[in-house]
Amino acid sequence: MKIIVSGGGTGGHIYPALALIKEIKKKDPQAEFLYVGTKNGLESTIVRGENIPFKTIEIQGFKRSLSLKNVQTIYLFLKSIHEAKKIIREFAPDVVLGTGGYVCSSVVYAAHKLKVPTMIHEQNSIPGITNKFLARYVDKIGICFPEAAAHFPTDKVVMTGNPRAQEVSGIKKSDILQMFDLSPEKPTVLIFGGSRGAARINQAFIEAVQELISKDYQILYASGAVYYDRVYNVLEEVLHKATNVKVVPYISNMTEVLANVDLIIGRAGATSLAEVTAIGVPCILVPSPNVTNDHQTKNAESLVKVGAAKIVKDQDLTGHVLVETLDNLMNDPATLKEMSEASKKEGITDASDRLYTELTQIMD
């Protein structure tokens, strides 16, 4: 089995692809993969770090406003289709999968023109422009949120879930919190705004920390590397005295930490939600306002609807709101348990298996 995978731009497109590749290799150790991305994209660093064969094409996204750069974008798109066809002919894949980001538009479209079976995977509740474009050309479309189905041809859609969920579903409780000088036995809140952090969440935490250090529960806060120095410098004196609040720039072993906390406050990216529902962690979600089509709000609403999460709008988040929201849930174990059970029901823990099945079927 030979598979070309393409996706890039954000971790939300890349990590599900990598999770799927790992799971397929477990099922079929002889399977061959080629990942196609861009030279300067995030995928270039991440995928190469996983020792997966990697090739690049040159392409860029459209500007949403009138811009002369869109003329160059059209030129690069047409050129990249030619480049992608060459890569596809050389590798001779049995199937091509796109996981999102403009780079996969050329690769999947080129595969379609060469009559190679194709599939795309949409992680969010509202599809991005690339997957909307590709929907008419591919054989199958995997989705993670039921709401996404309305944007695609009905006969092509299959609910697969996000492969990252299957990757983390087996993680058990451990003493990982000791790495952060926190007790594994104490109720714990994890607050983070993504790998780069989130300005609004950071500001609310700074405003709230004086109250938080006196709580019976403990807090692990990941500020994001970009914001860490500023946050720590402002709070250094307070944090030296605190025993229940720890601030770090980034958490590399995030999935293991997720399995050992009682509540999460964070953004509503699709991959993050796949991870927390696979484990069953209650959430307070603060959707980013700076994403296309406000898709994080739609992602979050899907969990709120079933009782697995609460939403606080980005513009409404203050230190006072943060403390009040935390207290309401951390002092109500019964509600936390109900939210956890609801979260687990939403989790799809065999997403890679489902995608593998669909890929093999369209090859036949």
123 is in an annotated binding site: no
195 is in an annotated binding site: yes
CATH architecture entry for 176-346: 3-Layer(aba) Sandwich (3.40)
Q: Which own/partner contact pairs does 289-296 have at CB distance under 8 Å and 24+ positions apart?
A: 289/314, 289/315, 292/126, 292/128, 292/129, 293/126, 294/126, 295/124, 295/125, 295/126, 295/270, 296/267, 296/268, 296/269
Taking residue 177's Cβ as centre, other Cβ atoms within 10 Å add up to: 22
Q: Do the domains 176-346 and 2-164+349-363 match in fold?
A: yes
At 152, the amino acid letter reads F
Condensed to tens digits (0 to 9), the pLDDT of residues 175-206 reads 999 999 999 999 999 999 876 778 899 999 99
Residues 6+ apart with CB under 8 A from 53: 33, 34, 35
Tell me which residue has tokens 């002092």: 331
Residue 165: name the closest of 259, 264, 26, 293 by CA: 259
124 is in an annotated binding site: yes
311 is in an annotated binding site: no
| Residue ranges of domains in the chain | 2-164+349-363, 176-346
Residue 74 has what pLDDT?
A: 75
Q: What tokens does 3 get?
A: 């598979």
Residue count (the chain): 364
CA–CA gap between residue 162 and residue 143 (Å, rounded): 8
CA–CA gap between residue 35 and residue 129 (Å, rounded): 21
pTM of the model: 0.87
Condensed to tens digits (0 to 9), the pLDDT of residues 203-235 reads 999 999 999 999 999 999 999 888 899 888 999
Residue 313 has what pLDDT?
A: 96
CA–CA gap between residue 44 and residue 136 (Å, rounded): 28
Q: What tokens does 132 get?
A: 């909307």
173 vs 163, 181, 184, 257, 345, CA distance in Å?
21, 16, 9, 9, 19
Q: What tokens does 181 get?
A: 């000088």
Residue 122 has what pLDDT?
A: 96
The gap from C-alpha 287 to its chain's centroid, in whole angstroms, comes to 13
For the chain, what is the radius of gyration of the CA atoms?
21
pLDDT band at 124 (very low <50, low <70, confident <90, very high): very high
- The yes or no reply on domain 2-164+349-363 and CATH 3.10.620.30 is no
Condensed to tens digits (0 to 9), the pLDDT of residues 59-102 reads 766 555 555 565 566 778 888 899 999 999 999 999 999 999 98
Burial (CB < 10 A; 0-12, 13-18, 19+), residue 74, is exposed
Condensed to tens digits (0 to 9), the pLDDT of residues 301-342 reads 999 999 999 999 999 999 999 999 999 999 999 999 999 999
CA–CA gap between residue 18 and residue 314 (Å, rounded): 30
Q: What tokens does 155 get?
A: 């006969």
Condensed to tens digits (0 to 9), the pLDDT of residues 141-155 reads 999 999 999 999 999
